[in-house]
Amino acid sequence: MRKFTLLTVLALILLVVAGCATRRQVLELQLEVEAVRADQAQIKAQNAHLDSLFRANIEQSRRVNADFANYINQLDERMGQIAARLEDAVTLINRAAGAMESRGGRRQPGDTTQVDTTRQAGGVDCQKIYNAAYSDFVKERFDMAINGFRNYIESCPNTALSDNAQYWIGEGYFSQKQYDKAQRAFEKMIGDYPSSERLAAGKLKLGRALYEQRQRTNARKYFEDVVKNYPGTDEAQEAAAMLERYR
């Protein structure tokens, strides 16, 4: 009987010890789980932070690339304007030379006679009107430039730069993405000045205005016209590039 009692007591002691050990292990496991969860939360937070930085860098890179592309486009536009201004000067020189040859003589030193674009009619200084309009265009004051070129055409019709003035009206609308008005301006330029030295440029820009209005079939006709009839020019090269978009 005493032996049985001793064994019972020992068993009870073992159960209590075992129970304590089990609870301690459970507590330890719980602490480890909490520690792991804390590590996971920290890792997730770090990943989220890194992901945020990565996305910010991508967005910044996109903005930088977009700004750079926009800057290049602005440079291209400015170069185009400079080239166009040079063409204006060449036009005046060529027409002045042709006028002098038609008169059967050369310009003598001190002769201040210029092409009729500089004439004053009724107190109107045609050259001043044209220069002011062109200055507004270069400064991207397109509405003022358009009005100025219109004033030039109305005040100084059939002068050396009338066709150029009509061309710049179209460019002013095109620069403002008013493609329908640009279309009409270039159509008028082509119709009113069929022998203009800017005919290739006018047809090219008319094609581009149509293209931007999704009139792709009509636009293609003008691109093909420029490539065919004005080979070797910058306009033909740009028209060929536009035709590549159809392939």
| Residue 76 located in a structural domain | no
d(CA 140, CA 108): 39
pLDDT of 163 > 50? The answer is: yes
Domain for residue 205, yes or no?
yes
Compute the distance between CA of residue 83 and CA of residue 77 in angstroms, rounded to an integer: 10
Domain-embedded: residue 136: yes
Distances (CA, A) of 19 to 6, 10, 240: 20, 14, 89
Given phi > 0 = left and psi -120 to 50 = alpha, else beta, which region is 120?
beta
CATH number at residue 180: 1.25.40.10
pLDDT at 115: 44
Q: Is residue 93 part of a domain?
A: no
Tell whether 237 is covered by a domain.
yes
* Per-residue pLDDT tens over the stretch 61-110: 677 666 666 666 556 556 555 655 565 655 555 454 444 444 444 333 32
* Residue with the larger pLDDT of the pair 188 and 99: 188
- When divided into structural domains, the chain yields a total of 1
Q: What is the pTM of this model?
A: 0.58
Cα–Cα distances (Å) from 1 to 13, 70, 220, in that order, read 18, 102, 115
Note whether residue 202 is domain-resident.
yes
pLDDT, greater one: 125 or 38: 125
Is 5 inside a domain boundary? no
Taking only the tens place, the pLDDT of each residue in 104-130 is 443 333 232 334 444 555 678 899 999
Between CA 95 and CA 72 the distance in angstroms is 34
Range of the domain at 131: 124-244
Q: Is the residue at 140 inside a domain?
A: yes
